[in-house]
Amino acid sequence: GKTSDWSPVQRFAVGIVAKDYLKGAYIGLGGGDVRSPLLRKSFVVNERGVTFLHVNSLGYHEIYINGKKVGEDVLSPAVSQLNKRSLVVTY
């Protein structure tokens, strides 16, 4: 029954609200038997602000921006049944 102090300002996000909301292009391979692909994409962010990176990988990934690892996670995403679902990790 006691009132607590105010918490620091936080941020949250919701799922995609409209099918034309995303304007980015997918990065991927055209097919074939590729065992350990390295996918790389170069881009420039012109405005300062909040930027999200959504990564969907069939297997584990690590993300680097300007040579620095993003996040502290190891072996992302969590284990899942790839024949049923693939997980998206947001940085």
Question: What pLDDT, in 10s, does the model give residues 53-67?
Answer: 888 887 788 888 888
The band of 86, judged by pLDDT with boundaries at 50, 70 and 90, is: confident
Take residue 11 and report the two structure tokens written for it. Answer: 């941020």
SS3 letters for the chain? CCCCCCCCCCCCCCCCCCCCCCCCCCCCCCCCCCCCCCCCCCCCCCCCCCCCCEEECCCCECCEECCEECCCCCCECCCCCCCCCCCEEEC
| β-strands 64-65, 88-90 pairing | unpaired
Write down the pTM of the prediction: 0.57
